[in-house]
Structure formats: C-alpha cells, structure tokens
Amino acid sequence: MTGGEPRADGGATGDGETRIGVDVGGTFTDVALSVDDQLVTAKVPTTDDQHVGVLEGIEKACDRAGVAPSEIDGFAHAMTVSVNALLERDGAETALVTTEGFRDVIEIGRQDRPALYDLEAEKPAPLVPRDLRFEIDERATVEGVERPVDPETVRDLAATLREREVEAVAVCLLHAYADPENERVVAETLREELDVPVSASHEVLAEFREFERTSTTAVDAYLRPAIDDYVGRLVDEADDAGIPEPWIMQANGGIADAETVREQAVTTTLSGPAAGVVGAAATVDEPDVNGLVTFDMGGTSSDVSLVRDGRAERTTDAEIDGLPIRTPMVDVNTVGAGGGSIAWVDSGGALRVGPQSAGADPGPACYGNGGTKPTVTDANVVLGYIGPETALGGELTLDVDAAQKALERLADEAGLEGALEAARGVYRVANATMTRAIRSVTVERGHDPRGFALVAFGGAGPMHATALADSLSIDRVVVPRPSGVLSAFGLLAADESYDAARTVGADLETAEPDALEAVYDDLVADVLADASDPDAARVERAADCRYDGQSFELTVPVGDAFDAETVAARFRETHEQAYGYAMDEAIEVVTLRATATVPGSEPAVRHEGTGGDMIGTRRAHFPGVGPRTATVFDRDRVAPGATISSPAILEQDESTTVVPPAWTGDVLADGTLVLTKESDTTEGDR
C-alpha cells in the first residue's frame, strides 16, 4: 500500500523554484510554500478584506522559510469572494436584457418548490429585481435569426441603464446558444455605450435550458465587479511586494490567469473547495480502493467530494443558495458543520449544530477572544482531542475553562448532565450531518463507500474522520501530511484548465459527423486560445447524451474522431452504471464539450521526521468506548515507517489527528498517515 508518493520528476520545485499557494477560508487563510523539496505552511485569520490576510499569510510563510516574498516564482490562489457575494447578496446592481416576453424566466424558474411539503417555503429572490429586467424586440430560433435586433434600440436601452446606474449587465436572448448573432450585437453595443461589465450568455454558457442559462449569466454579471476589484487589488499589491501575478483556482479544479477570471467571474464560485479536492488527488495514491472520498472540515463548513481514477468528479448541475450555475465544477457537497459551527437547542429541545458559525472573530469560546457560544471546537477541547497546551496555527493558545463553561451552559439548556455530555452530543450531531453529506455523494449515486478510502483534511477533519468512517463501514482513512492546509497545497499541484461547450441537439444515429467535428473544432480553438502554452495542452472532448425523450443527460468521453457506435456504447455503459439499466433506444447528442489542460507539477516534498515525537499523554473520551489515556505525538517529528498504536493524538500547527481505539496508523515516506481499522479491539485503560 502506497500513498502520497510525489511525481518521479519532482515537479517544478525540483529545479529550485519557490512557489506559494494561498487559500482563503471562512475562518482561516491557509498558506503552503514550496522551497526546493521543503514544504512550509502557515495559517492566519481571514480578514474582511481578503487580500490583507493573503499578504499576511505570505509574509508569515516566507519568514518561516527564510525567504523574501520577492523570491517567489509562482503564486496560486483560491478565494471565497464569489460564494460570499452570492450567500450575502452583496454583489453588483445588475440589469438583465432578454428577449421580449421572457423577462420573468429568471424568477419563474422550473416552478418547483424548494421543499415539496412545506407550504411556507420560499424560493430565494432572483439576483436581478424585476424593475431591472429589460426586454428587447428580437427573435431567433434553433434554425437561426428570424428578426434581427435594431442597434438603435440597444443604444436607447443603454441610456436607460446609464440613468439607472447599474453596475453590471447580463444579456440572455432566446436561443442565443444556437445562433448568437442578435445577442452579440446587443452585448457589443452595450459595451460601447456603457462603462460596466457586460456578460453575454453565448460567451458564458452556450447551452440550452433558458432558466439555467439566464441564471448562470446573471451570476457572472453579478460577480464580475467584485472579482475584478479583488483580483485587481491583489495583482497590484503582489506586484508592489515583488510577488508574481496570482493564478486563480476555478471551480472546475484548474487554475487560470488573473485576466481570464476577471472576465469569467462565474468560474470562481467554488474556488477553495475545488483546491482541496485537487490536493487530495495529488497527495494520495491508493491503488487497491475504488476511489477516494475527500472530507474537508474547516472553520465554518465541511466539503465532501469523490476522486475516481485519480481525478476529481465534476458536474455541470450545481446550485449555490438556490441559484443554478451550469459551468463545469468539481462536484462538492457542502454542509454547515465546521470547527466554528455553533451548537444550539431548537424550540423542540433538540441539540443542533450549525449552520451559524462563530467565525474567526470572536471565534469559538476556547480562542479566548470574547466568544461565549459553544462550538464544535469547544466540544473537541472538552473531549480531550485538543489539549490545553495545544497551539492552534502554531500560535493561538487555548482557554479550556471558557470552552468548559460554554458547554456547561449548553448542557443546562439541553437538559444534559454537564459539559462532557454536551460535548459528546455536539460531536455526534456534527458527525451525523457530515455522514449524510458523504452518503449523498456515494450511496445516493450508486457508490458503495466501503470500497473507498476517506481522505481527511482541513483544520478539524482528521479529528472526526474515523468516527465518520465507522458510521460508513470505511476501513481506511488517509490524512495527508499538509492536511491542515491541503487546499493551499492543492494550488501548488493544480493544472491549468479551460472549458467550452455548445448545445447541438442531434440524433446520434443520423447526425453528420463532419458537422459535429466542425463544432468541436470551434470549441477546441476556444479553450486553446485561453491556454498559456497551447502546445503543451492536453485536449479532451466529451458529449452530453440522453435517450430520446429523457430530460437529463450523462457526459461520456469522445475520442479524437467522433464515432457514433463508440459514443452509443459508452453512453449505455454509463447509464447502466448510474441508474442500473440500459435500453436499446434512440440516443440524442445534446451538448458537445472540450477541455484544455496544461499539466501542472506537484511539488516534491521531503519528510524526514527527526524523532522525539512523543510529547506526552492526555485523557480523551472516545465514542462508544469512554475515556482512555491517549499518547500525544508531534506529527512533524514522526519518522517515515513508524506505526502509531491507538489511542493516540497527533498534533500539528494547523490540524490535529485522532486515532481512536480499534484503529492503527502507518506513516508513509512523505509523511502521509494511513489509518486502518483493526480486526480485533482490546480494552484499554479506563
């Protein structure tokens, strides 16, 4: 069994390059700095102006490594600007321009209710209010333009938009995915007349389904001013510090240059979670399992995803706060259960955890910053997983008494017997929430989690991982060495990636291969135009297919030449795997896709382990077992090849790993810790 083995070529760091990855989370900003074959990490509180914390984190990591920021050769970055703007609804004042009669598509949606049996459930408000939706006289069908748009009408509309002081414009005309001529005229005229970003649907999402295309285009316009401002300031301040221009992680799991994401803001919506999945895929090599379940538990939320065949699972069917976004992205399921999630008692007396979070300021009660509400981190302190001598982030000392008092107040409110009982309850409830998230990406999609390894990371993930594995009958948990900052590490290993798609809607059996190849040629040209080194890019082609009459599609790979029989066979195989059956029915090719990838280089990281790793013991409480005396290790000093007997706790600056009774840990050559479930459990001391 192997895990975490670096590439044989050593990646870009093998030739002396210094690269840095910075991931902004809801509570902390994580930094991974690769200098030759050394990895230096840092963690600082996330600031309201995210770029401030980013630069503070860079300075902290550089100080630890003994290098100047100006010596950095490459800078990759993941952020939460986009998702925060959507969740908090503080993006740009956006106008929507659409075909006459279709202004309310964005609000009508699919006419389904968020909760089928909840009569009081409300849909989230659309990003564009009705008084900022404007209709224009034009008409196109899938066959082409029937009624061209009048440029003078567009100029008159531009004057109205100028008077309304809109900050961004989304243009989404009927059937523009099939023939964008009218939409192109509208967008180009508005760009000439207005000094605000204009997002056109044929450039953002050239696919059918009017509601999803309109929603995605509106999201892009809504985010562009914020992304442009943030990335622009970061570029300027990095330049002032002598740091290279940042490459930004996109939701599809690939990085892109700053200018590209400033023009395609919607691609940054799940930037941080995607980086974590990329980091897991880059550091863990488990050949004798079906794949990896990635589990990233941070300060405010937990993200779960799947990695199969060494690649992150992707989707084009995602929502953020009820807003459909149909650009390719890593398939991540997020739940509001993190280390800073607040525990509370509902009106029925039930103990709940999250989604409210204590954040970084004041943070959990144990931080000693004035926080008084009980959190998951406070529960872990009371359970003994985090000790009074533990220094979170290498610096933050804990106030154990404050955690104890916060849990005691929760116990009184919930009718529990003291802080310990409340801590156990918080731990169980948080774990139940995260277990459901893992089931949603495994069991509910036809995957047996018992055949997967669970990769745990984030500041809190390795403390909860074995409990989740037990509930899912997973017998292997992998904790990468940079687990506390794995999203930042993933930025160092990320490929450069670009996507393009176009709906064609053709019967597979009668479709003209030459016509489909012509579409592919255009798509490939589009993605290669964005690549920094087109000659080094790997191009992959795919097609969304469905049986005639179905309302959903499945994506299958397409080779260098479109062959209908091969595509049909791949679709039927994929359909049977996903739904348990296949049919001998007509197949429709709905959308063609192309992806260009310029391979990155994983940093070669050396782990030596200096010995003297046992730093004491601590009394800890384990689910179903009770209190035990656990050996506490300094994980950075544990030597490769070492075996960790349970119960044990391994501490690092950025995370803590819990090895409960019935589990054993093996340390691999690169410092990766592989935990396996023992077949026999012996009783420890009470």
In a domain, 29, yes or no: yes
If one counts the domains in the chain, the total is 3
Choose one of 588, 606, 624: the last residue of a domain: 606
Evaluate if residue 684 carries a pLDDT over 50: no
Residue 349, burial from CB neighbour count under 10 angstroms (0-12, 13-18, 19+): exposed
Q: Is the pLDDT of residue 394 over 90?
A: no
Structure tokens at 560: 């260098």
Say if residue 469's pLDDT is above 60.
Answer: yes
CA distance 252 to 278: 10
Q: What is the pLDDT of residues 206-256, one digit of tens each?
A: 999 999 999 999 999 999 999 999 999 999 999 999 999 999 999 999 999
Nearest Cα neighbor of 595 from 671, 532, 537, 658 is 537
Kindly tell me the burial class for residue 450, based on how many C-beta atoms sit within 10 Å of its own C-beta (0-12, 13-18, 19 or more): middle
Across the chain, mean pLDDT equals 90
Does residue 111 belong to any structural domain of this protein? yes
Mean pLDDT of all residues in 143-166: 96
- Reduced to 3 states (helix: H, G, I; strand: E, B; else coil), residue 450 is helix
pLDDT > 90? residue 475: yes
* DSSP classification of residue 552: -
Reported as a pLDDT band with limits 50, 70 and 90, residue 4 is: very low
Confidence tier at 685 by pLDDT (50, 70, 90): very low
Q: Which whole number is the average pLDDT over 447-456?
A: 93
Q: Residues 441-465: what's their mean pLDDT?
A: 91
Residues 268 and 347 in one domain: no
Residue 508's domain spans which residues? Answer: 499-598
Cβ distance 55 to 77 under 8 Å? Answer: no
Q: Which residues does residue 263 pair with via DSSP β-bridges, in sequence order? A: none
Count other Cβ atoms within 10 Å, centred on residue 260: 17
- Answer yes or no: do 273 and 188 share one domain: yes
Mean pLDDT of 171-194: 97
pLDDT, mean of residues 588-603:
92
- Tell me, what's the pLDDT at 16? 62
* Final residue of a structural domain among 558, 575, 598: 598
Q: What is the pLDDT of residue 390?
A: 67
38: in domain: yes
Examine the fold and report which residue of 606, 632, 653 is the final residue of a domain before the chain moves on.
606
Q: How confident is the model at residue 37 (pLDDT cuts 50, 70, 90)?
A: confident
Residues 371 and 231 in one domain: no
Supply the pLDDT for residue 25: 83
For residue range 44-54, list pLDDT tens digits in order: 888 888 999 99
Interval 323-376: pLDDT, tens: 999 999 999 988 888 899 999 999 889 999 988 888 777 889 998 888 899 999
| The two three-digit tokens of residue 18, written as one number | 């210094």
Confidence of residue 393 (pLDDT cuts 50, 70, 90): low
What is the residue type of 90? D
Q: Are residues 272 and 346 in the same domain?
A: no
- Is the per-residue pLDDT at 267 higher than 50? yes
Taking CB atoms within 8 Å and a gap of at least 24, the contacts of 51-58 are 51/230, 51/233, 51/234, 51/237, 53/24, 53/29, 54/22, 54/24, 54/29, 54/234, 55/237, 55/238, 55/241, 56/29, 57/22, 57/29, 57/30, 57/31, 58/20, 58/22, 58/31, 58/241, 58/243
Residue 666 lies in a domain: no
Q: What is the pLDDT of residue 43?
A: 87
| Ramachandran assignment for 321, one of left (phi > 0), alpha (psi -120 to 50 degrees), beta (any other) | left
Residues 349, 276, single domain; the answer is no
Please indicate, yes or no, whether residues 386 and 269 belong to a single structural domain of this protein.
no
* Residue range 60-74: mean pLDDT, rounded: 94
